């Protein structure tokens, strides 16, 4: 039997105050990012903010990879490239920069002139474009997220207890906010792909919390004489191997994808990677301790006879 760690008995709950401090900071960062996104001050991708589209028609075929590298070299690594199947055409979409001194369209043209001097091209069109994710789409997404949060709280509350449901939802929210905050801090662009990554990690984080809760519930029934604190600690320790191995397998996929996945997928994978690490941390240090600070009595699970 190959084992990463043996039987452990770590006092996770004892470190909850430190954890709450760290998490508080992460959530605060996330909230700041959220406000910045709301007011449009954050680094929003072209999907949300709109930008400039330039359509170029080249004389000879142009490799999309070379084009990306060329743009990247001149600070336009966030450009979205799309090939037309006819006539060696290339559609370049760049989000509007706040520096108006140099028009982005002119800059794109300049890049291609210097980097591909043998391949002549004409500008088919150059226009301002609006966001692909309109206002209604954003509202739909918010509605969907709110409803799923309520659904989760209700389900977990029926299967466990209300405090478990709220704790799982809070932990999930914590993870999403933390990644959002880190992305804001790193000045990463918030694109549609990053939002997808946030949704994915929400699913992951939820699973993680429920697995730990499940073990705590089992212990609550089996070891009725112990303190809640001990029971929670024991539960976390018992599933610790599973937690670590699962995280390890996910990390095994995400690290290569982050490093070698190409520029477009990099931000997506990085968000997932950060999210999985934070999700693992939060299931132990956020979701579980939250059960302790819930106001009121021992709750239904403790007084149940089965």
Partner 1 sequence: MKKIRGRLFLVLFLSVVSFYLFLPSWPGLYDRIPESVRWLIPPRGVSLGLDLQGGIHLVLEVEEERAVEIAVDRAAKAMQDLLTDKEIAFDIIERVGSLQVQIELSKEGVVEESAELIRDEFPSYFQVSKGGRIFVVELLDSEVNRIKNAAINQALETIRNRIDQFGVTEPLLQRQGRTELVIQLPGVKDPERAKSLIQDTALLEFKMLDEDNQPGLGLPVQVKRSEESSIQEKFADQVPEGSEILFEPIPDPKGGPPVFSRPYLVQKNAVLTGDVLQDARVNYTEFSEVYVGVTFDSKGAKEFGRITSANVGKFMAIVLDGTVYSAPRINEPILGGRAQITGNFTTDEANDLAIVLRAGALPAPMKTIQDLTVGPSLGQDSIEKGLKTTLIAGLIVLIFMVIYYRMSGVIADMALVLNLLCLLGALSGLNATLTLPGIAGIILTIGMGVDSNILIFERIREELRQGRPVRLAVDAGYDKAFLTIVDSHVTTLITGLALFLFGTGPIKGFAVTLCLGIGINLFTALIGTKVVFDLINRRKLEQLSI
Instruction: Kindly identify the residues of this chain, within the stretch 239-258, that bind partner 1 according to CB under 8 A.
Output: 239, 241-242, 245-246, 248-250, 252-257
Residues 39-98 binding partner 1 (CB under 8 A) are 50, 53, 63-65, 68, 80-86, 89, 91
Site string for partner 1, 264-303 (x = CB under 8 A): xx--x---x-------------------------------
Binds partner 1 by CB under 8 A, chosen from 144, 185, 186, 292: 144
Count the residues of the shown chain that bind partner 1, applying the rule CB under 8 A.
Answer: 80
* Interface with partner 1 (CB under 8 A), residue from 193, 216, 277, 287: 193
Beta carbons within 8 Å of 92's beta carbon, 6+ residues apart: 53, 54, 55, 56, 67, 71, 79, 80, 81, 108
Beta bridge mates, 95: 51
Closest contact distance (angstroms) between CB of 63 and partner 1 is: 8
Closest to partner 1 by CB, 83 or 226:
83
Report the chain's C-alpha Rg in angstroms: 24
Q: Return the structure tokens found at 90.
A: 């290339």
Question: Counting contacts by CB under 8 A, is residue 5 touching partner 1?
Answer: no
Angle between helices 104-115 and 64-73 (to 10 degrees): 120
Eight-state DSSP code of residue 44: B
Residue 288 has which token pair? Answer: 């579980």
Give yes or no for residue 196 binding partner 1 (CB under 8 A). Answer: yes
Pick from 38, 101, 122, 136 the residue near partner 1 by CB under 8 A: 136
Pick between residue 50 and residue 299 the one whose CB is nearest to partner 1: 50
* Cβ nearer to partner 1, comparing 68 with 188: 68
Between 23 and 247, whose beta carbon lies closer to partner 1?
247
Binding flag, residue 203, partner 1 (CB under 8 A): yes
Of 34, 37, 162, 211, which lies in the binding site for partner 1, with binding defined by CB under 8 A?
A: 211
Could you tell me the smallest distance in angstroms from the CB atom of residue 133 to partner 1?
8
- Report if residue 188 touches partner 1, rule: CB under 8 A: no
Q: Which of 161, 119, 101, 173 is nearest to 297 (CA)?
A: 161
**Residue 197 or 278 having the CB closest to partner 1:** 197
The length of the chain in residues reads 306
Note whether 222 binds partner 1 by CB under 8 A.
no
Cα first-last separation, the chain:
34
Q: How far is the CB of 178 from partner 1 (least distance, A)?
A: 18
What are the structure tokens assigned to 32, written together?
A: 């700041």
**What's 51's DSSP letter?**
E
If the CB atoms of residues 29 and 201 are measured against partner 1, the closer one turns out to be: 201
**Contacting range for partner 1; rule: CB under 8 A; set: 13-21, 112-120, 236-244, 291-299:** 236-244
Distance between CA 32 and CA 12 in Å, rounded? 29
Non-local (6+) Cβ contacts of 190 within 8 A are 37, 42, 43, 44, 45, 48, 180, 183
* Structure-block tokens of residue 85: 């199947």
Residue 215, classified by CB atoms within 10 Å of its CB into exposed (0-12), middle (13-18) or buried (19+), is: buried
């Amino acid at each position: 039997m190959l084992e990463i760690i043996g039987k452990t008995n770590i006092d996770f709950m004892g470190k909850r105050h430190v954890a709450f401090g760290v998490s508080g900071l992460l959530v605060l960062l996330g909230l700041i990012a959220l406000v910045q996104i709301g007011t449009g001050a954050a680094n929003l991708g072209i999907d949300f903010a709109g930008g400039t589209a330039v359509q170029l028609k080249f004389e000879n075929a142009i490799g999309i990879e070379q084009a990306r590298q060329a743009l990247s070299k001149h600070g336009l690594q966030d450009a979205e490239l799309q090939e037309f199947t006819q006539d060696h055409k290339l559609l370049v979409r760049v989000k509007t920069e706040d520096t108006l001194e140099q028009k982005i369209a002119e800059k794109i043209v300049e890049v291609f002139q210097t980097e591909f001097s043998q391949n002549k091209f004409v500008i088919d069109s150059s226009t301002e474009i609006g966001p692909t994710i309109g206002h209604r789409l954003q509202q739909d997404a918010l509605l969907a997220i709110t409803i799923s949060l309520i659904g989760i709280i209700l389900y977990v509350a029926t299967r466990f207890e209300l405090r478990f449901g709220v704790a799982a939802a809070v932990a999930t929210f914590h993870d999403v906010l933390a990644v959002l905050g880190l992305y804001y801090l790193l000045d990463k662009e918030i694109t549609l792909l990053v939002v997808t990554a946030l949704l994915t990690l929400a699913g992951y984080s939820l699973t993680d919390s429920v697995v730990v809760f499940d073990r705590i519930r089992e212990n609550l029934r089996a070891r009725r004489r112990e303190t809640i604190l001990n029971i929670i600690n024991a539960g976390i320790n018992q599933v610790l191997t599973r937690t670590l191995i699962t995280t390890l397998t996910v990390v095994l996929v995400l690290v290569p994808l982050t490093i070698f996945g190409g520029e477009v997928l990099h931000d997506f994978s990085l968000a997932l990677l950060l999210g999985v690490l934070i999700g693992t941390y939060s299931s132990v240090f956020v979701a579980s301790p939250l059960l302790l600070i819930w106001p009121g009595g021992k709750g239904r699970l403790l007084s149940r006879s089965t």
